[in-house]
Amino acid sequence: MPTIDTNFSAREPSLGYVYQIKYALLLLITNSRTTSNPKIRIENLDDIEIENIDSIQLFQTKLHIKSKATLTNASVDFWKTIRIWADHIKSGLIELESTLFALLTTESVSEESVLVNFKKENLNSKEIDHVVKKLDEISTSSNNQSIQEAFKAYGQLDINQKKILIARIRIFDASISIPEIDEKIKKEIAMFVYPKKVEAFIERLEGWWLKQSINMLQGKIEFVQGDELQHQISAIRDEFSADNLPNHFPDQLEITDIDLEKYKQKTFLKQLDLVEVRLNSHVAKRAISDFRRAYEQRSKWLRLQLLNPEEEEIFDKRLKDYWQNIFEILCDECTPLEVEELVIKGKEFYLEQFAKRCPQIKIREKFNEEYLIRGSYHMLSDKKKIGWHPKYNENI
């Protein structure tokens, strides 16, 4: 049986959204350099909308990952875009004279097509009249049923509206691909961070941007401004300074019964059980959350080369030294005690010294997240390098 190829018709819309979101970020970065605090919207009047002080730019983005077709006079992409713009004009949603219209496509415009005129920066009045005449002919003579509504919408514009619209349309054909967008963003960001940290920096920025994009799509926010982008870049740059690290796991995890079952054989939970901190307690669930976040965060730093192994070892040694000092005091106090009293003392030791409050031992001076400290202690506990019960080594 032959292998069935991937369904490109299903993949293109998905990648189209990725393309749209990434291109919107690139637009906001570049516009923020040249314009005072621009606003960007996604899926509002168009795929992407950039608002400056005196103008609005509407972008239709068309990504094609398999088709190598060219844009011709009766191109579906072009005419469906015209329909959107014409509807906005007729409904009064946009001011025609202050709006720029852009069709961004990975396909190429046929040199024989009237659409080639839209690749020019400015059309003179004679060229505008020629384009209007040709589009009028196409819209009244084409039998393509899939774009009849687009022809109708265009035909409802008066001659003056058509001329102004035509004068303000640009087609950017053979446009950059998703990897090329990534490279352009990389070049824009390179000035803010050391070369080795650029990829990790962009990952943080794109994570923030994806959240903002989803918020726009869900209607939670209307737009994102250039100042917000600059603030975020500054905040991320601070995370990548020599005395700080980025926090990729800022949110507490919701620990489910499935998680409890998965982790119940872990040594760090057996250590807690030894001092009667039960598996289904809130304290144990918080410990699992801290353990997972700390483990994932430290692994990510090492993978991104933001933290070197020697620095990690020094951090663990400092954690253990702090624990050793107060653990030895605990052991001295527990020498004459019975087994039941050792459990009570161990539980009190854990809760008072590590759960209710957190030792202020930082991996970097400006990284203040307590989950990393607590979770790292549980990582040490999981290796039996530390413990909470005075005689944990004998009991586990």
Range of the domain at 263: 257-395
Q: Are residues 274 and 207 both part of a single domain?
A: no
Q: Are residues 195 and 271 both part of a single domain?
A: no
Q: Are residues 38 and 74 both part of a single domain?
A: yes
pLDDT of residue 143: 85
* Residues 139, 149: Cα–Cα separation, whole Å: 10
- In this structure, the chain runs to a length of 396
Domain tally, the chain = 2
Query: Is this model's pTM higher than 0.85 or not?
Result: no
Residue 328 burial by CB count (10 A; 0-12/13-18/19+): exposed, middle or buried? Answer: exposed
Q: Are residues 318 and 222 both part of a single domain?
A: no
Q: Are residues 87 and 200 both part of a single domain?
A: yes
Q: What is the pLDDT of residues 193-240, one digit of tens each?
A: 888 899 999 999 999 999 999 999 999 999 999 999 999 999 999 999
Q: Are residues 203 and 262 both part of a single domain?
A: no
Hey, what amino acid is at 309? Answer: P
Residue 127 located in a structural domain: yes
Residue 248 located in a structural domain: no
Residue 347 located in a structural domain: yes
Q: Are residues 263 and 229 both part of a single domain?
A: no
| Residue 243, both tokens | 């005395």
Q: Are residues 212 and 263 both part of a single domain?
A: no
Residue 240 located in a structural domain: no
pLDDT of residue 169: 95
Q: How many CA within 13 A on the CB side of residue 286?
A: 12
Residue 252 located in a structural domain: no
Last residue of a domain, one of 181, 202, 235: 235
Residue 349 located in a structural domain: yes
Residue 251 located in a structural domain: no
Q: Are residues 225 and 274 both part of a single domain?
A: no
Angle, in degrees to the nearest 10, between helices 267-274 and 282-303: 150
Q: Are strands 56-62 and 99-105 parallel, antiparallel or unpaired?
A: parallel
pLDDT of residue 67: 59
Residue 247 located in a structural domain: no
What are the 10-residue block averages of pLDDT along the chain, 396 residues in total? Answer: 42 81 96 91 93 90 76 92 95 92 92 93 93 95 90 96 96 91 94 89 95 96 96 94 94 95 96 96 97 98 94 98 97 86 96 96 97 98 98 91
Q: Are residues 187 and 267 both part of a single domain?
A: no
Q: Are residues 181 and 280 both part of a single domain?
A: no
Q: Are residues 217 and 347 both part of a single domain?
A: no
